[in-house]
Amino acid sequence: MRAPKSSFEIITERDLMSAMEGFQSVLRNAMAAGIVEFAIYMDLELSPRKLRIFVEVSGGCMFLQEKLPESSVVGFKRCCSSFEDGLGSIYKVQRDRGQVSPLLVSIVKPGCFDKLIRVAIENGVPASQYKPPKIIRNHEIAEFLEGCSLATACLDSLDG
């Protein structure tokens, strides 16, 4: 696991993996949802910077419904709050100072991360060497995943 590449990065891969383990456990217990794949993107062009996580959940999950009940939205935000709590001290300090805006958590359509693999292979990456990125630095990949979003929760409040 590597440390942040620059002073602009506020989480390590270790922080991310640790936070995701806790999030996955809470999500499974509270909402019966399993995580298939995930990635996180830090938009450094915004001020304050914005951290966004993209999560693909297993089929049959309530998040894949057309419209979520309000109680599910509030429950989901609480689950996301557990993710944010695990992101490490650098993130927490910058979040408290207002240097990072509230975390966004997006549920993406099933198969979105598989599409990323296909695009990478079409662009010359050997299939045996492709590993989906956990920390996204490419704005185009983040835009692609944003286009696949089914639902997004902003952790500015837990009120819904």
Whether the bond between 48 and the residue before it is cis, its omega within 30 degrees of 0, is yes
Q: What is the pLDDT of residues 10-65, one digit of tens each?
A: 788 888 889 999 888 888 887 778 889 999 998 877 788 888 999 998 866 656 55
Task: Say which residue, 75 or 27, is predicted with more confidence.
Answer: 27
Which of the four pLDDT bands, split at 50, 70 and 90, describes residue 69? low
Residue (of 68, 60, 66, 43) closest to 110 by Cα position: 60
Q: What is the pLDDT of residues 94-137, one digit of tens each?
A: 888 888 888 899 989 889 999 988 888 888 888 787 788 888 88
